[in-house]
Amino acid sequence: MFSAPFARAAAVLALPMLVAARPLPEAKPHVIDKAHSEINFVADSRMLSAHGYFGKWDADVKIDAANAAASSVSITIEAASINTRVEMRDNHLRSPDFFDVAKYPTITFKSVSVTSTAANKVDVVGDLTVRGVTKRITVPATVVFYEKGAGRFRGQFTLLRKDFGVTYDSAVNPIENEVQVQWDIALKEPTPAPAK
**pLDDT in the model for residue 27:** 80
SS (H, E, C) 122-133: EEEEEEEEECCE
Which option is the CATH number for 27-188: 3.40.50.300, 3.40.50.150, 2.40.128.110, 2.30.130.10? 2.40.128.110
Partnered with residue 61 across adjacent β-strands are: 30, 73
Give yes or no for a contact between 91 and 97, defined as CB atoms under 8 angstroms apart.
no
Phi, psi values for residue 104, rounded to 5° = -125, 80
Q: Which amino acid is at 172?
A: V
Give yes or no for a contact between 78 and 54, defined as CB atoms under 8 angstroms apart.
yes
Cα 144 → chain centroid: 15
**pLDDT in the model for residue 9:** 37
Q: Which amino acid is at 98?
A: F
State the pTM of this model.
0.82
Cα gap 191→147, rounded to integer Å: 15
Domain boundaries in the chain?
27-188
Backbone Cα Rg of the chain:
23
pLDDT in tens, the chain (196 residues): 434 443 343 333 333 433 344 444 568 889 999 999 999 999 999 999 999 999 999 999 999 988 999 999 999 999 999 999 999 999 999 999 999 999 999 999 999 999 999 999 999 999 999 999 999 999 999 999 999 889 999 999 999 999 999 999 999 999 999 999 999 999 988 766 566 6
| DSSP letter, residue 174 | P
